[in-house]
Amino acid sequence: MSLTDCFLVTGGLGCIGAETTKWLLRNTTGKVVICGRDVHAARVERVFHDIDVTRLTVLAIDVTDQGLLSDTLAEHAITHVVHLAALQTPDCNQHRNLGMQINLGGTQNLIEAMKSHLSQIQRFVFASSIAVYGPRDTYPAGRVPLQVEPHPVNVYGAWKLAGENITRIFTEETGIDAISVRPGVLFGPGRDAGLTSTPTTAMKSVALGIAYEIPFENRQDYLYAPDVGAAFGNAVVEPFTGYSTFTLPSHTVDTGQIVQAITQAAAALGIDQQCNLTIGNQQVPFICDLEYQNFCEAFPKTPHTRLDEAVFLSLQSFIDQVDRGWIGKEMIA
C-alpha cells in the first residue's frame, strides 16, 4: 500500500462498510472515500467517533447513478473498490424492483464505471452473501464445501449470486483482480437490520435492561462485525491474483449458545440482573457449517475472535452506546 492509494467503500455507513472503513484507516496509509444513499453528519460522527477521520471523505451517492460513480472514481483517483451497498433481505422482499436496481443494477453500474477507468483500478471486492446457498438440509452432513451448488431461497440471494457472476466476468474481461466474499450472520457493533439481526438486538436489549426473545433457535454461522471488516480489508489490500469466491471464518452455534455467551458477558460486566432473554422456535432458511479454510490460507492475517470475547466486546460497546444516548428502548422491535 502507498500514500497514493485511495479506497472507495460503497455502503460505507452500513455495518460491514463501517468496520471495513475503520480497518482501512487504521491499517493503511491511503485515503478512504465512502458513499451511501443517506448521509447525515450525526450518523457519520457516531459511526467514526473513535477513529481519526482526517483521511476519510464521505459522499452521498446512489449506486443507481452510474455517471456519478464514474465521476467519483476519476475525481478521487480511486485505486481499490469494496462494494457493499445493497438492500437487505426484508427490503428486497418488500420492494423487489428497487432491490433489483440497487443490488444487481448498482453492481453493474459500478463495474461499468470501473471499466471507464481501468488504468487506475487495482482490486475489486464484491460483498456477496451465504444467501446464495440453499437450506442446510439440502447439503451433506459435516463441513459444507465452498463450491457446492448454490440455490438461493430468496431474491436477495439470487441477486448476490448474479453479482458474483458479473464480478467474475469483469475480471475475465479486464484482467483486474477481483474477489467475491460471502459473509454469514453478522453480530456486534453496527448490526441493526436484516433477517438475522435479532441476536445483536438481544445484546442491545440486555444493555438497556429490557426483556427480549430471539425468534429463531437453529444453528447459524456467526461472524463478529469487526472481524468481517478486517476480512474485507485484507481482501482488498493483500496480494491476490485473478478471481475467486470465499466464505469467511465463523462460529457455527445454535441460538442457545449465543444466549449463553451473552449471559456470561453480562455477568462479567456486572449487569447480569439486566439479562432476560428467551428463544422462540422459528427456523431461518440460511445454511451453516460452511468451509472457510480457503480464505484463511489466502488471507492469513485476518482475525477470528473467539465467540465469548466477541460477544463480550459487543455488549460492552452497546452499554457505551446506551450511556451516550445512541440506543434507546424505542429502537428495540
Angle, nearest 10°, between helix axes 225-237 and 15-27? 60
Residues 101 and 246 in one domain: yes
pLDDT one-digit tens code per residue, 200-256: 999 999 999 999 999 998 899 999 999 999 999 999 999 999 999 999 999 999 999
Helices within 103-253 (DSSP H only): 106-115, 155-174, 198-208, 225-237
Q: State which residues form the domain around 154.
A: 6-184+224-250
- Tracing cell 432458511 back to the chain, one arrives at 285
Residue at 300 is within a domain? no
Q: Mind listing the pLDDT tens digit for each residue in 65-107?
A: 999 999 999 999 999 999 999 998 888 899 999 999 999 999 9
The sheet that has 220-224: what strands, in order across it? 185-187, 220-224, 251-253
Whether residue 128 sits in one domain with residue 24: yes
Q: Same domain, yes or no, for 205 and 100?
A: no
Distance from C-alpha of 156 to C-alpha of 252, rounded to nearest angstrom? 22
CATH of the domain at 117: 3.40.50.720
186 close to 128: Cβ distance less than 8 angstroms = no
Q: What percent of the chain has pLDDT over 70?
A: 98
Following DSSP, what letter does each residue of 277-317 receive, concatenated?
A: EEEEEE-------B--HHHHHH-TT-----HHHHHHHHHHH
Burial of 207 (0-12, 13-18, 19+ CB in 10 A): buried
- Evaluate whether residue 39 is within a structural domain: yes
CB atoms within 10 A of CB 246: 22
Residues 266 and 136 in one domain: no
Residue 194: DSSP 8-state: S
Q: Could you give the number of structural domains in the chain? A: 2
* pLDDT value of residue 286: 78
Instruction: State whether 114 and 81 are in the same domain.
Output: yes
Give the predicted TM-score (pTM) of the model: 0.95
In a domain, 54, yes or no: yes
* 179 and 312 housed in the same domain: no
Same domain, 90 and 162: yes
Identify whether residues 142 and 171 lie together within a single domain.
Answer: yes
